[in-house]
Structure 1
Amino acid sequence: MRLATFNIESLDLPTRSEPPFEARAAALRPALERLAADILCLQEVNGQHVPGAPERRLVALDLLLEGTRYAAYHRAATSGADGRGVASVHNLVTLSRFPILERREVRHAYMAPVEYRYVTGSAKGGAPQPVAFDRPLLLTEIELPGAKSLDVINAHLRARRASAIPGEKVDSATWRTTGGWAEGYFISALKRTAQALELRLLIDERLASAPGRLIAVAGDFNAEDHETPLRLAVAGEDDTGNSRLASSALIVLDRALPPDRRWSVLHAGRREMLDHVLASQALYGRLRGIEVHNEGLADEVLAAGGGVAASYHAPLVAEFGWG
């Protein structure tokens, strides 16, 4: 059984798509086929308006998957703000060759938004404002051969870019003050870290209800192995200091990659592993291998303007023994 994750970089249709959709599809389809995934977690799938329909739908994704193995897969996706259709941007989508038994979006289910009082900009000194997650986690329970089921949590934590601070931007790319930028960067880190905590609480709940449960967490964490979001999600024995909690810890599967291959993003010449597949102890016992397909990855900073046809993220696929 092959489980993959791929941030496909704001997949969309004109007029919001640059490069054109046809160019993107020509680059993305071979990458998807190479994964040969039984379960595929996608991030940054945008939704489109359909004439006569009240909600957005995943039209671009349907066109991308046309003619591939994934077109007939079972599907779960995050929804729009009103619960109908999908969101306009950055939906999570999980595709599965096997039936999906349960689908649940998890957003502030275990912790309320942090109340925060701005210290810069036009909102400085005002009433505390809730700092909400950009998008939910997407939990699916998937029926596997042999009467087994697998929990798959598709995750996309807040990017490292600074969040907007009222009155602190000259334009979309320019900050008015260094303090405003610093506060925006802090807010993004707060969102990323808080959602990693919610992810850990979700994992704890699933394991408490069924010790030995098979759990995979896959997605774009916007964090490397040693950073706080990963440490919160993993809850390793080296952090908890309690061997009795070791069965609840997750394993970072990309640690099995050779050091010179362990990167999923190229940022100004610096190789970073921001995309991960994590596994519960029971699932880890079935691991047979892991690959990262980063051979043709463009530098997200140095690439020519206008976007990239494929993605600035490399896909990652883990293979597990079954049967």
Structure 2
Amino acid sequence: MTVIGAWNIENFFEPGGPFGPSDRATFDRKVALLAETIRSADVDVLAVEEVGDPTAFEELRARLGDGWSGVLSTHFEVDHPIRVGFLSRLPIEESSEFFDIPPLLQAAPTGDDGAPLATMGRGALRIRVRLGADPLDLVAAHLKSKLLSFPGRTPNATSFVPRDEAQRARYGAYALNRRAAEAAAVRGYADDLLAGDGSTRLVAVMGDLNDEVRAATTQILQGPPGSEIGTAGENHPDRGDAWRLLNLAPLIPEERRFSRIFEGRKELIDHILVSTALRHRITSADTVTGATQLPSITVDAAARKDSPVSDHAMVVATIEG
């Protein structure tokens, strides 16, 4: 049995600085709670999002104990340097990262300045491990947030409050454009991994997709429609099986089918999508919060700077063999 998971560990920075907690005690408490939750989930490989400092990541890896290795993406936005990574108890045979937006989507508007969208904000990362003798490719991704930020009234400043409703609408559209283009980039990379052989290749795309199951951006990642879990076509092979990624969300018990609470509303925005071959080996999926309750958050991200717990639940899947 092998357990894989994905977890947004929320602005994981060393203390001090613009994003990290105010003091070492708060940071140490967060490291301890993260490690406790990871151990209680008994995961073998965990994709993590919102890692700010490589040094913080290394402290978490060390806290997990011997036998854990890790790898981080090197592509992130300079203004908010959060990135994706993997922690693993299984040997990582190889890794690679990607971040290029498909050329035909680079003209999509993402701000009033009209700057072209050449790369993903947070680069995606792939690792390869083994399930027995079989290679398993895992891709970690963190797509553009639904929480909107707007140009401030001074150069290089940002604000979470729009100047007017027209600006709110534009930047909502810009964020959606960017998230959709990033989803298409990850989908294209998954196509390369599947290579038209998803009925035998073991592939998973996982992470914070910042949208729910039926959202258009999440649907982009799934590829050919049909045979979704829980539908009439689930157990009927078809031509789409060679390319399809299946979202494991329906396997999560309904009462725990959420990974974030935003202004009191439960939503599942963290996902694990798997190839047809890997779906046949999945026995269960779930969310994990550990010993702490998931907090309800607002658009004020700065208010959580000193919170020792993540605002996301971990999403996990169990694989036989």
Normalised by the length of structure 1, the TM-score is 0.83
Runs of at least 5 residues in structure 2 that lack an aligned partner in the other structure: none
Q: Retained in 2: the 8 A contact 1:41–1:94? A: yes
1:243, distance to aligned residue in structure 2 (A) = 3.9
Would you say 1:299 and 2:291 are equivalent positions? no
**Following TM superposition, by how much is the alpha carbon of 1:297 offset from its aligned partner in structure 2, in angstroms?**
0.4
Within 2, Cα distance between the matches of 1:141 and 1:184? 37
Change (3 A) 1:281 1:117: closer
How far is 1:97 from its partner?
2.0
In 1, distance between residues paired with 2:196 and 2:69? Answer: 25
Matched, 1:258 2:253: yes
Post-superposition Cα deviations, 1:72-119, rounded to whole Å, max 9, x if no partner, equal 32322111579xxx9972111112222222211111164466225688
Provide the rounded CA distance (Å) in 2 between the counterparts of 1:102 and 1:171.
38
Q: 2:223 matched to 1:235? A: yes
Distance 1:129 1:265, change over 3 A: same
**Do 1:113 and 1:130's aligned partners in 2 also have CA atoms closer than 8 Å?**
no
TM-score (norm 2): 0.83
Query: 2:146 is matched by which residue type in structure 1?
Result: R
Cα distance, 1:144 vs. partner?
A: 3.2
> Contact conserved, 2:150 with 2:158, CA < 8 A, in 1?
no
What is the aligned counterpart of 1:161 among 147, 158, 172? 147
Residue 83 of structure 2: aligned partner? 91
Amino acid paired to 2:256: R
Question: CA 1:285 to 1:117, structure 2 compared with 1: closer, same or farther past 3 Å?
Answer: closer
Partner amino acid, structure 1, of 2:148: A
Instruction: Indicate conservation of the 8 Å contact 1:76/1:93, yes or no.
Output: yes
2:62 maps to: 66
Aligned pairs for 1:183-202 within 5 A: 183-202=170-189
RMSD: 3.1
Which SS does the other structure have where 1:72 is aligned?
coil
Distance, in Å, in 2 between the alignment partners of 1:119 and 1:250 is: 31
Deviation at 1:157, TM superposition (A): 0.4
CA distance in 1, matches of 2:221, 2:110: 28
> Do the aligned partners of residues 306 and 194 (structure 1) sit closer, same or farther apart at CA in structure 2, a change above 3 Å counting?
closer
Match of 1:52 in 2: none
Cα 1:104–1:65 change in 2 (3 A) is: closer
Q: Which amino acid aligns with 1:221?
A: L
CA shift at 1:163, angstroms? 4.5
Q: 1:221 aligns with which of 200, 209, 216?
A: 209
SS of residue matched to 1:175: coil
Partner residue of 1:318? 317
How many residues are aligned here?
A: 301
Letter in 2 for 1:23: R
- In structure 2, the residue matched to 1:178 is 165
Amino acid at match of 1:22: D
Does the C-alpha gap of structure 1 residues 283 and 239 become closer, same or farther in structure 2, counting only changes over 3 Å?
closer
Partners of 1:171 and 1:191 lie apart in 2 by 18
Change (3 A) 1:117 1:140: closer
Please tell me whether the aligned partners of residues 237 and 246 of structure 1 are also in contact (alpha carbons under 8 angstroms).
no
Q: 1:192 to 1:171 in 2, by over 3 A?
A: closer
Q: What's the offset of the Cα at 1:208?
A: 1.4
Which one is further off, 167-176 or 194-203?
A: 167-176
